[in-house]
Amino acid sequence: MSKFSSGKDSYAISDRSGFRYRYRDMRREWNGLLVGKDEFEQKQPQLEPFRKVFDAQALKDARPDRVEPEVAKLLKRNPFLSGAIGSSVVTVNETEHERKTGDVVRFRDVFGLDGITKTVIELSTGYAITVTNENEYTFVASSFGTAISGNTRGGGEFASVGPVTFSDTGEEPKAELVSLFIMTANGAILSTSTFDSINVTFDSASKTFDEA
């Protein structure tokens, strides 16, 4: 097998500059050039191929996004505006409502206005709306609700708007029965009363409960 000389007494010419260097001091670059040790350059890292990295996107044990149930939204003070005299059209002010024409909404805790009664506005089946802009929409009250004076604002401070029903079963929240007991010192019951928890009110003057 042939052997190569160590070249300890030899010289070589740089492929880059053409200068003469001792053979033993020559360096080979990444591109194959033989250069002097003071000319040697490392390969630029940006010339290396990029390492393939994949960004993880899926989550382990992921769950589907939860659909939030619709809830009642408190409207601003006196959010309703009646139409012209004899009109059943009512304009509702609901800031950034994000509703669309044809949606059915139901109003609650409303005060009547301009001849349109509370019962008419709080129709249990709700009203289909017509969107006029991002903050207002209209609905047509039932045949019993028409404006007397026209262009009158009202509705009270606690009016709210929401879906026709709140529960998944499509039923209104049921009243809870609350029983009140008047007992003597020895624990004997003198009288009991059962109230509807939704309609019962407390009379602070007489210290009694009144059921609507």
> What band does 206 get if pLDDT is binned at 50, 70 and 90?
low
Give bridge partners of residue 138 from the DSSP assignment. Answer: 91, 130
Q: Which residue has the higher pLDDT, 180 or 84?
A: 84
For the chain, percent of residues with pLDDT exceeding 90:
50
* pLDDT for residue 192: 47
Model confidence at 174: pLDDT above 50: no
DSSP reduced 3-state for 39: coil
Give bridge partners of residue 48 from the DSSP assignment. Answer: none
Tell me which fold the domain 73-162 belongs to. Answer: Elongation Factor Tu (Ef-tu); domain 3 (2.40.30)
pLDDT tens, position by position, 60-82? 888 888 888 888 999 999 999 99
Model confidence at 135: pLDDT above 90: yes
What lies within 8 Å, CB to CB, of 55 at 6+ separation is none
Model confidence at 170: pLDDT above 70: no
Does this model's pTM top 0.85? My answer is no
Inter-residue contact 200 to 185 (CB < 8 Å): no
Give bridge partners of residue 208 from the DSSP assignment. Answer: 203
* pLDDT for residue 154: 94
Rounded Cα–Cα distance for residues 136 and 93 (Å): 5
CA nearest neighbour of 38 among 21, 57, 18, 23: 21
* pLDDT for residue 191: 47
* Displacement of CA 35 from its chain's centroid (Å): 66
Q: Report residue 50 as tokens.
A: 């990029």
Model confidence at 210: pLDDT above 80: no
All structural domains of the chain with their residue ranges: 11-40, 73-162, 177-211
Inter-residue contact 176 to 129 (CB < 8 Å): no
Q: Where do we find the tokens 């009158």?
A: 152
pLDDT tens, position by position, 37-62? 999 999 888 887 777 778 888 888 88
| Strand ranges inside 134-206, DSSP E | 136-140, 153-154, 160-162, 177-183, 189-196, 200-203
Model confidence at 187: pLDDT above 60: no
The CA R_g of the chain, rounded to the nearest whole Å, is 42
Q: Which residue has the higher pLDDT, 136 or 166?
A: 136
Rounded Cα–Cα distance for residues 134 and 99 (Å): 8
